[in-house]
Structure 1
Amino acid sequence: MGKFNKSGGRTMPELNTSSMPDMIFAILFFFMVTVTMRSEELQVKFKLPSASEVQKLEKKSLVTYINIGIPVDPRLGTGTQMQLNDKLAGIDDIQDYIAQEKASLNEADQQFMTVSIKADENTRMKYISDVKQALRKAYALKINYSARKAEN
């Protein structure tokens, strides 16, 4: 019969980590699919006006947004404010903003850039006209007005 020797040093077997990269990529893929990234944080609140004829925009990657409404933070005032990207701005800042947005696009796509104005339904038309004039000076001639579909 064989003799069992207990004097040999027993070691703990190593942990098998060959499937760890697969698990990491699976979790990474899950978060990439489920998490949506906000491009900007809204600093103005607005209720879009209703419209009877509404169309969706084709290429949203070519759309630049101008948000107009009352500031969310009451310390910033109660009057109409305009938000460009993540900061409140004035009408004088529109030309620089449009130039910066056009520069971030492909040269072939620059002519297809659309400016979408998301304005509160109670915004005075004088303010919208001033924004449109500034957009004309910046050669942003393709303008879209965001609206919600009217209930029947």
Structure 2
Amino acid sequence: MSKFKKKKKGLPAVSTASLPDIVFMLLFFFMVTTTMRETDLLIDSPRLPSATEVKKLEHKSLVSTIYVGKAKDKDKYGASFNRIQLNDKIATPDDVPSFIMSEREKVSESDIPFMTTSIKADKESNVGTLTDIRLKLREVNALKLSLSTQKGSSIKK
């Protein structure tokens, strides 16, 4: 019999000394790359119509979004689907030109021709409201228009 027992050699323990560094690098990465929503929706999230040919907008910083749908606060704004939201307020079609002009002031003059107006309208929205918006956009020469949709078949079987 031996006086000293041999220790079994196993795998060494994994070093966790660098784990806090990795966690903080990931946290910093997500804090820098995440963008927060710029506007609070005062209308119910629009149920977008379906379309088969969908194209993604490239320069999101040059897109001005107009929301059309039913207001969340029905007591204050009414229950119809014809409410328009520009930035953080409910507006009328007459407010659209001033909205576009204020959006143009935020970008450089060389980027103004590349600006796009995106309309996110609920599929139950009134076509007359959308036509009014389009006419007001023509007044300020905002002719690049995008109608937001969800990808899918628009034909019901």
Query: TM-score, normalized by length of structure 2?
Result: 0.75
Residues 105 and 34 (structure 1), Cα distance of their counterparts in 2 relative to 1, 3 Å cut: closer
Report the Cα offset of residue 73 of structure 1: 1.5
Report the Cα offset of residue 78 of structure 1: 0.4
RMSD (Å) for aligned C-alpha atoms: 2.1
- Aligned length in residues: 130
Amino acid at match of 2:35: T
Report the Cα offset of residue 36 of structure 1: 3.5
User: What are the ranges of 5 or more consecutive residues in structure 2 without an aligned counterpart?
Assistant: 1-20
Q: Which residue of 2 aligns with 1:147?
A: 149
Q: Deviations over 1:46-99 (max 9, x none)?
A: 100000110101111110000000001222210120000011001110111000
CA distance in 1: counterparts of 2:33 and 2:142, whole angstroms = 34
Q: Deviations over 1:76-135 (max 9, x none)?
A: 210120000011001110111000001111111011000000000011211111100000
Identical aligned residues as a percent: 45
Amino acid at match of 1:131: I
What stretches of structure 1 move > 3 A for 4+ residues in a row? 25-28, 33-36
Secondary structure, counterpart of 1:116 in structure 2: strand
Q: Which residue of 2 aligns with 1:77?
A: 78
Q: Which residue of 2 aligns with 1:115?
A: 117
CA distance in 2: counterparts of 1:120 and 1:31, whole angstroms = 32
Question: Does 2:33 correspond to 1:37?
Answer: no
Amino acid at match of 2:43: V
Question: Does 2:97 correspond to 1:98?
Answer: no
CA distance in 2: counterparts of 1:130 and 1:123, whole angstroms = 12
- Of the three residues 129, 133, 136, the one matched with 1:134 is 136
Q: Deviations over 1:17-50 (max 9, x none)?
A: xxxxx9xx96982562375311000111210000
Q: Which residue of 2 aligns with 1:11?
A: none
Amino acid at match of 2:47: K
Amino acid at match of 1:92: D
Q: Which residue of 1 aligns with 2:58?
A: 58
Residues 27 and 54 (structure 1), Cα distance of their counterparts in 2 relative to 1, 3 Å cut: closer
Query: TM-score, normalized by length of structure 1?
Result: 0.78
User: What are the ranges of 5 or more consecutive residues in structure 1 without an aligned counterpart?
Assistant: 1-21
Q: Which residue of 2 aligns with 1:12?
A: none
